[in-house]
Structure 1
Amino acid sequence: MSLKYAVLAALLEGEASGYELSKVFDVSLANFWPATPQQLYRELERLSQDGLVQARVVRQERRPNKRMFTLTEAGRRDLGAFAAEPPRRPTAIRDELLIKIQAMDGADPAVAADMLEERTSWARGKLGRYERVRERLLAGRDEEEYLRDAERVGPYLTLMAGIAFERENLRWCERALRILRQRAALKGA
């Protein structure tokens, strides 16, 4: 899958500038499809040229003008066709930290522990951001009420996946750290 469909899906929320889209990606899509602002701007240009999004210029007095993007009907149709297709292949993990942990035997375990501590900190930070997004989406409703009555549940369902992923990431990091500490204690005894 290309970034194309992630951008089109983000625009289902409504008109947005490239900057606003990058914030949407940081908050609600980064848990399953990260993108840099530069990638987003390039993709928006391609989508505009392909007629899948439409741009309008908003003039600003003290800042540069900004372009606001919306989905076109062609973009909605293309996104709908994409959403109806089954995924081409199952999810695969590509994680540099896991390669380092795989290869850590014989290296200083304190270095691996530091990397795990850093990942733990990242996971906690992401969980905090995701929980704030969750509270904003719920807006005082309980989850069942939201899932029953909300106009769109896709963003909430993907947020649930991101929360579950980071909770499991955190659980694994904490367990790996306990194992490393136990092994270090046994070697020190």
Structure 2
Amino acid sequence: MALRNAVMAALLEGEASGYDLAKEFDASMANFWMSTPQQLYRELERMEGEGLIRARLVEQERRPNKRVFSLTEAGRRALHAFTAEPPRPTAIRDELLVKVQAVDVGDTGAVLASIRERGQWAEAKLARYERLRERLLAGRSEEEYLARAERVGPYLTLLRGLAFERENLRWAEQALAVLERRAVSQD
């Protein structure tokens, strides 16, 4: 998937500056798509040049002027076409898993520390995603939200992010238990 599709999906929420989009990617879209601010700004320029988005200048009194972006009709058509295509299969590319694969001949202590860190990241992301979930629900039940919200896509992707991080945490706990037991039995 191209970054542009994720940007267009984010702009469905409405007009946003590059800074706002970078925050959006860091907060709610991080559960399924990562991007650096530099990548994002380069892609915004390309997309504007291709007519998928438009920018307008917002003059500010005590801050530098900023450009805000919105989706054009051509961008909406491109996003529609993207949603009609079958997705490519997901592939895991995870450096930690390569280290775990080699743990039997590697530095077990370093691998254990990396797994612990992955578990801590998962816990932190879960907490952030739960705060986002509460903000989206705004006091409504999940059933009510899913039946009446204007857009349900952001909530559904959030649910996937929550499930992914719960599984990361569960796996980290299991891997730690196995490797710690083996370390004790080998002493």
CA distance in 1, matches of 2:81, 2:106: 49
With the length of structure 2 as denominator, give the TM-score of the two structures.
0.98
Structure 2 counterpart of 1:169: 168
Q: Structure 1: any 5+ residue segments left out of the alignment?
A: none
Instruction: Tell me how far 1:103 sits from its aligned partner.
Output: 1.1
Q: What SS is found at the alignment partner of 1:56? A: strand
Q: How many residues align?
A: 187
CA distance in 2, matches of 1:172, 1:128: 18
Q: How is 1:29-44 mapped onto 2 (pairs within 5 angstroms)?
A: 29-44=29-44
Instruction: Tell me how far 1:108 sits from its aligned partner.
Output: 2.8
CA distance in 1, matches of 2:106, 2:133: 40
CA distance in 1, matches of 2:29, 2:173: 25
- The share of aligned pairs that are identical, in percent, is 68
Is 1:95 the counterpart of 2:88? The answer is no
CA distance in 2, matches of 1:84, 1:166: 28
Q: What SS is found at the alignment partner of 2:8? A: helix
With the length of structure 1 as denominator, give the TM-score of the two structures.
0.97
Q: Which amino acid aligns with 1:53?
A: I
Instruction: Tell me how far 1:62 sits from its aligned partner.
Output: 2.0
CA distance in 1, matches of 2:75, 2:136: 25
CA distance in 2, matches of 1:40, 1:106: 40
Instruction: Tell me how far 1:128 sits from its aligned partner.
Output: 0.8
Q: Which amino acid aligns with 1:185?
A: V
CA distance in 2, matches of 1:47, 1:95: 30
CA distance in 1, matches of 2:84, 2:149: 21
Q: Structure 2: any 5+ residue segments left out of the alignment?
A: none
Structure 2 counterpart of 1:52: 52
Instruction: Tell me how far 1:18 sits from its aligned partner.
Output: 0.2
Q: Which amino acid aligns with 2:79?
A: L
Moved over 2 A (4+): none
Q: How is 1:103-114 mapped onto 2 (pairs within 5 angstroms)?
A: 103-114=102-113
Is 1:117 the counterpart of 2:116? The answer is yes
Instruction: Tell me how far 1:169 sits from its aligned partner.
Output: 0.4
Q: How is 1:1-189 mapped onto 2 (pairs within 5 angstroms)?
A: 1-87=1-87, 89-188=88-187
Instruction: Tell me how far 1:115 sits from its aligned partner.
Output: 0.5
Instruction: Tell me how far 1:80 sits from its aligned partner.
Output: 0.8
Q: What SS is found at the alignment partner of 1:30? A: helix
Instruction: Tell me how far 1:49 sits from its aligned partner.
Output: 0.6
Instruction: Tell me how far 1:31 sits from its aligned partner.
Output: 1.4
Q: Which amino acid aligns with 2:43?
A: E
Q: Which amino acid aligns with 1:54?
A: R
Q: What SS is found at the alignment partner of 2:163? A: helix
